[in-house]
Amino acid sequence: MRKISLHNYTVIFAAAAEQLQNLLSELDYSSVFVLVDENTLMHCLTLVEEALPEHTKFIQIESGETHKNLQTCELIWQSLLEQGADRQSILINLGGGVIGDMGGFCAATFMRGIRFVQVPTTLLAMVDASVGSKLGVDFRGAKNMVGLFQNPEAVIIDPLFLETLPQPELRSGFAEVVKHALIKDVVLWKKLLQFSSIQEVENWEDIIFRSVQIKQEVVEQDPKENGLRKILNFGHTIGHALESHFLHTSDPLLHGEAVAWGMYAEAALSHQHKNLPAPVLKEIQAYIYLHFGLSARQQFAMHELISNSIPELISWMQKDKKNVQQKISVSLLERIGYCTPDHFFSADSLEATLGDLLT
């Protein structure tokens, strides 16, 4: 069994049921609650069921980002109250990033904070959302606007959950793995280059393990995102804008897919401003093209966007929380494995080049 220790908690890589049982046997608690959505209820609960104590209580919410809000939190708090939760209760968040972020937030605020365990069931939640202690929900259309930093009791990672995960969701999480390699680890990048499709990955645990290590290294140096942690946003300045734009098209992009194309463009920006060598840029862009190819409808939408909607994309980027004095903040690569935060661009300068960066 492998572990990664962060400041006050551990990320454990092992069979989920066994680990949960071990963990619960070490904790003193009054009752156990499990938060699920309809998909994790159907596909994931069976993998942990045997570890749950007899009177475990369940809270089910609807899946999807549209439910990651204060209304759903109220339902969760209400259900905790009605089912008799007290300050010694423990909440197990069994699901993707939505369940982890929102369940963690509800636990951290219920009765001023009860303990919670993250059991991520998507690749994105395993390599990204469940590590770093950021919790929260969306508010009035703005992502993760209300939340806090709080550590879980533990994070339990079992790649077996990935067997039922739909392919697009797997691909979306894979983009964050690619990001971790590009910003911090040329060895991981070389390994990823060997896969011509995600289906070829046999040993997910190795890849997830290294990916979590990278996130941990960055987060521990800058827990509250004052500086270095922003390199984890590589690909996200342009990626978030693409995600927002495509949300209103007939074929939206998942978060990781949008981030992949954000990395495509921000790698080109890195070539222009940080001398990322041309052959390296070509290698990165070819990899993204291969793994994150757009559907015919998305290609059409991207073409339309480049021709007509660059100003709209810029206005999405102007809403980014990382911006300072209206300048748009981007993290850029100098070489594979080395990324620096806080390169600032005016809206006008980006507007002039964004179309080229995306082609």
The footprint of ligand NAD (CB under 6 A) covers 37, 39-40, 43-44, 63-65, 68, 95-99, 101, 121-122, 124-125, 128-129, 132, 134, 143-144, 161, 164-165, 169, 172, 255
List Cβ neighbours of 262 (8 Å cut-off, separation of 6 or more): 235, 236, 237, 238, 239, 240, 241, 242
Residue 58 or residue 300: which is nearer to ligand NAD going by CB? 58
- Smallest gap from residue 169 Cβ to ligand NAD (A): 5
Give the phi and the psi of residue 331 in degrees, each rounded to 5: -95, 135
Distance CA 39, CA 31 (A): 24
Distance CA 340, CA 60 (A): 41
> What single-letter DSSP state applies at residue 224?
T
Which H or E run includes 342? strand 338-345
- Smallest gap from residue 72 Cβ to ligand NAD (A): 12
Residue 130: name the closest of 11, 45, 281 by CA.
Answer: 11
Residue 130 or residue 298: which is nearer to ligand NAD going by CB? 130
Residue with the shortest CB distance to ligand NAD: 97
Residue 223 or residue 337: which is nearer to ligand NAD going by CB? 223
- Smallest gap from residue 102 Cβ to ligand NAD (A): 8
- Smallest gap from residue 90 Cβ to ligand NAD (A): 20
- Contact indicator for 138, 182 with CB cutoff of 8 Å: no
Residue 125 or residue 280: which is nearer to ligand NAD going by CB? 125
Distance CA 271, CA 277 (A): 6
Query: Could you list the active site residues?
Result: 112, 134, 176, 215, 225, 229, 233, 236, 240, 255
Residue 43 or residue 57: which is nearer to ligand NAD going by CB? 43
Q: Is 64 helix (H, G, I), strand (E, B) or coil?
A: coil
What are 294's two structure tokens?
Answer: 């757009």
CA angle 243–306–255, rounded 5-degree value? 15
